[in-house]
Structure 1
């Protein structure tokens, strides 16, 4: 078994409380070293919020990163009760999801915050069918990734799938929730929009906006952040705009507000501003 396979095999069997304990122990130790990825996160957060992260926030960022990674490996084995116990969402925000899904359909734009995998697993437990997209990573990683998320109740399409937009439009029409990470553009075909409160722009994918316009679905933003042993989920009102750039400008405004409130849950370990 290769190293990737070993990590996957061990991680998927790790009980949640054990993984959380490991994250709490590892984060202070790892934070003692100089990590370029964490330095990049700190620079990005300072640019986004106007405040330099403290040592405590750097430690919590690492704890949250470890936690998210371990949860992603093990979530397929969580009980329904454990998912529902850890995830927290208000009745109003849950209602927003169900209102859009019962009506015009729903596309959710998400930042790399908190645990988007747990958010998807929670949706599956309350009867919402979730669809998302992932890079086709090498060495069997994509296949493991897709199979694990199927175990959580989610369907994952590879980003290079032919006619992906048509497939996602069919998912919207079938009242499935299409969730797309949208705070980093991997295609170089996205749009550059302003980050509120900063003299900077960020490149984001246009896909969520284009899919919503193509299908007539609502476009909302969902953000998640760690809160003690829980994960808090929040859902925006439908975004408005006549162009992809206007819609994604609205999405980034919601991202920016969430990052200001919970910078240590923004797991963006790179520079993103242009």
Structure 2
């Protein structure tokens, strides 16, 4: 882990809290760690101000006004989100040779990954902010070697460095989304070398995405995964992520055709796959920020 630093700002104290979490939750018994996560989640879920945007997002999924989203779904969603963080803090203690077997026992379509790589194809995997994408990454590392992804550059820098160091120790290859060399050329090179790239693709961080219809309302989604597949000839395989009671669900969907197609149409296909998965497991979609333009305008 990164060297000691003296916190001087609110962001520094947040960073210190995250790094303490990595230390403390890794030492706690599993049941105690999850219990703490559930207690914290229930407290957050009971606060309407804290969950206002989550409720708006889930209203689109459920097809109802925000005030009609069941409180039980809000609670389950916060528990799912805090479960992700508990597991993120406990990754080194969770990691084991048996983990890949556990993932495979509850998941669908994973043979597509092996078949494509054995045929000499590279793969781009767009993912939603659902379930536990770290577990999907650990399965990839265990079964198929290293893979590449990008990460938002967190503030302060010490938190980002700790995040990268932590996941690279597990076999992930992490490139910064901003503040470094452009990630796309490096990702393209790794695909041309026959690698695997995973990209969270349901939130348009930079505002440079293309319009899609998502749960009946127009928004934008990033083009990175689709563009990489078009530019390199890599196979494009959207994945769905959610939780089971005692494990993780990772669905490798059929490959999306890309050759000769319009970029916007490909991104819409990805959005449609995400929509179906999220509708089946709404509590596991960890979208706490404004996603649709109407909400972004109100939040300014």
Task: Note whether the superposition's TM-score is higher than 0.5.
Answer: yes
Match of 1:26, SS state, is helix
Q: Please name the residue that 2:267 is paired with.
A: 248
Distance 2:254 2:38 in 1: 35
Contact 2:123-2:191 within 8 A present in 1 as well: yes
Q: Which runs of 5+ in 2 are unaligned?
A: 1-5, 8-12, 294-300
Contact 1:105-1:217 within 8 A present in 2 as well: yes
Distance 1:44 1:124 in 2: 32
- Matched length: 271
Q: Please name the residue that 1:192 is paired with.
A: 211
Match of 1:186, SS state, is coil
Q: Please name the residue that 1:183 is paired with.
A: 202
Q: Please name the residue that 2:234 is paired with.
A: 217
Q: Of residues 45, 63, 66 in structure 1, which corresponds to 2:58? A: 45
Deviation at 1:212, TM superposition (A): 0.4
Q: Please name the residue that 1:66 is paired with.
A: 82
Q: Please name the residue that 2:36 is paired with.
A: 22
Match of 1:179, SS state, is strand
Residues 69-106 of structure 1: per-residue CA shift (max 9 Å, x gap): 12222213433146346534567512111222333210
RMSD: 2.1
Distance 1:60 1:193 in 2: 28
Distance 1:88 1:33 in 2: 37
Deviation at 1:268, TM superposition (A): 0.1
Deviation at 1:188, TM superposition (A): 1.6
Whichever of the two has the greater Rg, that structure is 2
Residues 227-250 of structure 1: per-residue CA shift (max 9 Å, x gap): 112111001111124021111100
Match of 1:24, SS state, is helix
Structure 1 residues 203 and 12: alpha-carbon distance in aligned structure 2, compared to 1, 3 A threshold: farther
Distance 2:255 2:32 in 1: 38
Q: Please name the residue that 1:153 is paired with.
A: 171
Distance 1:147 1:98 in 2: 27
Deviates more, 1:7-16 or 1:18-27: 7-16
Q: Of residues 174, 188, 193 in structure 2, which corresponds to 1:169? A: 188
Q: Normalized against structure 2, the TM-score is what?
A: 0.83
Match of 2:69, SS state, is coil
Are residues 1:5 and 2:23 paired? no
Distance 1:65 1:82 in 2: 24
Structure 1 residues 17 and 129: alpha-carbon distance in aligned structure 2, compared to 1, 3 A threshold: farther
Deviates more, 1:130-139 or 1:256-265: 130-139
Distance 1:91 1:231 in 2: 8
Q: Normalized against structure 1, the TM-score is what?
A: 0.91
Contact 1:13-1:77 within 8 A present in 2 as well: no
Distance 2:17 2:272 in 1: 40
Are residues 1:273 and 2:292 paired? yes
Q: Please name the residue that 2:296 is paired with.
A: none
